[in-house]
Structure 1
Amino acid sequence: MHHLFHFINSVNVELPQYITLFGKKIYLILFIIIFAKTAYIVLTFLPGDATLFASGTIAASGQLHFQLLLLLFFVATVAGDAQNYLIGKIFSLFNKSDRFSIYKLIPKKSMDKTHIFLNNYGKWAIMFSRFIPLLSTTLPFIGGLTSYSFKRFISYNAIGAAIWAIIWVGAGDLIGNMSWVEHHMFLSLLGITLFSLLPPVIAFIIEYTKKIATASKVTDS
């Protein structure tokens, strides 16, 4: 099991070697990784952005097909999020029982906030949650749990999945031929990971600043 997790988590860094080892089967492996990451909250640690970026850099060298990667990642993301939503829907059926409640795992206050957030900023939240770590895998689950419209969810999610795939695979393909990127893949992927963390960090800073300002006004009054 340890070797399996190591294999999956290092696929973005050792992708060229895996292509040599598995050949065309690498497309199936990439599909499974992205599908699993989006379909199951417990697998949110799997590499997402970095896998797409690394695949794009390999596509730039001609070892992988760019258009096929876009289609593969798009389908894997939409299918995975749909699965995640349905799991949340199933949990909602049991959530009414006193013996089992999802609120024992996730605070009800957090669930209520997410529900309100979905209702107020539904399409934008769904489309761009893909770029925010953790939210990208928890939002579909909570959407199903709170009975958010599946038709609306899947429609906006498809748009977000397309944007996500085009940006990260496209970025990898665009700069994949740069010698520095080729020889410093680990640093490149580290930069991608840190960049993907910027949105939630900025959001936290803004929210924290607002709370301080509000508290200051209350104190002054």
Structure 2
Amino acid sequence: MEKQFSWKDLLNPMFYIVYGGFFLLLFIVFAETGLFVGFFLPGDSLLFVAGIYSTNLADDLFRKFGMTGIRPEWLDLLVLIALISIAGILGNTIGYWTGRKIGPTMFHWRDRFLFKKKYLYDAHEFYEKHGGGAIIFARFLPIVRTFAPIVAGIVEMDKKKFSFYNMIGSIAWVFSMIIAGHFLQKWIFTQFDFDLKKHLEVIVLGIVIVTTAPVLVKLFFGKKKVSQPPTN
């Protein structure tokens, strides 16, 4: 029986892996880090689950190019990490140029379902506090990672400096999540005979809670103040 689509599936990383495969995963990473409407898409949990299913994703990818046979484990991980990192780099680059071109006017847009000015203010405050390193740190923070490159473009961060932090941040984010998912699955299964694949809902929920905790704390317990659009 064919599964009926539900809007909540958009928040479920397994939905993209099962029904879209590796190339949809690439697009989701690109969209979440480069398109301001992609802030609601799963990022950390998607990459962690992708690490758990890295062999399956690699098999699907190599099969599409007519490459079959036994491959070393490191090759699967290297290819996945490299391609996903490139998608993240390109996404942030689009976000940066969006900020350069239309960013300042975004602070005068009305709030909509898929756009809140508060997200831009939060990302700007985060950027001002951490400087260039914010581009790296933001990769590990939902919502903030979507708007950080846009804010970097708005304040006209040096292109070379942005590109450097962008590459480091994307590789660090993708590498840590993919490797964590892949090897944690193997270690836990070997040591405790516990298959993470059968408990993905709990794992994804845990990742979401951990990664969104800083954002939620800032949202509900941060000092309330009136924000003004940043000036160059």
- 5+ long unaligned stretches in structure 2: 59-75, 111-115, 225-232
Write out aligned runs for 1:1-221 (5 A).
9-10=11-12, 12-14=13-15, 17-18=18-19, 26-59=21-54, 64=58, 65-92=76-103, 95=104, 101-105=105-109, 118-119=127-128, 121-177=130-186, 178=189, 179-201=194-216, 207-208=222-223
Is the partner of 2:132 in helix, strand or coil?
helix
Whole-angstrom distance in 2 between the partners of 1:14 and 1:146? 37
Whole-angstrom distance in 2 between the partners of 1:44 and 1:117? 16
Alignment root-mean-square deviation, CA: 3.2
Which structure shows the bigger proportion of residues in helix conformation?
1
Whole-angstrom distance in 1 between the partners of 2:181 and 2:118? 39
The alpha carbon displacement at 1:118 in A equals: 3.4
8 Å Cα contact 1:58-1:176 kept in structure 2? no
The alpha carbon displacement at 1:198 in A equals: 2.4
Whole-angstrom distance in 2 between the partners of 1:103 and 1:58? 40
**1:86-110 deviation digits (Å, cap 9, x = unpaired):** 1111105xx5xxxxx3332279998
TM-score normalised by length of structure 1: 0.73
The alpha carbon displacement at 1:33 in A equals: 1.2
Residue in 1 aligned with 2:229?
A: none
**1:128-186 deviation digits (Å, cap 9, x = unpaired):** 01111111011111111221222211211211111111111111001223324121111
Is the partner of 1:176 in helix, strand or coil?
helix
Residue in 2 aligned with 1:214?
A: none
Whole-angstrom distance in 1 between the partners of 2:109 and 2:87? 27
The alpha carbon displacement at 1:63 in A equals: 5.1
Instruction: Label 1:137 to 1:15 Cα distance change in 2 as closer, same or farther (>3 A).
Output: closer
Instruction: Label 1:157 to 1:5 Cα distance change in 2 as closer, same or farther (>3 A).
Output: farther
8 Å Cα contact 1:8-1:33 kept in structure 2? no
Q: What amino acid does structure 2 have at the position aligned with 1:75?
A: I
8 Å Cα contact 1:15-1:54 kept in structure 2? no
Q: Which has the larger radius of gyration?
A: 1
8 Å Cα contact 2:88-2:170 kept in structure 1? yes
Q: What amino acid does structure 1 have at the position aligned with 2:169?
A: G
The alpha carbon displacement at 1:4 in A equals: 9.6
Instruction: Label 1:150 to 1:4 Cα distance change in 2 as closer, same or farther (>3 A).
Output: farther
TM-score normalised by length of structure 2: 0.70
> Percent sequence identity over matched residues?
26
Number of aligned residue pairs: 193
Residue in 2 aligned with 1:215?
A: none
Whole-angstrom distance in 2 between the partners of 1:206 and 1:9? 25
Instruction: Label 1:5 to 1:33 Cα distance change in 2 as closer, same or farther (>3 A).
Output: farther
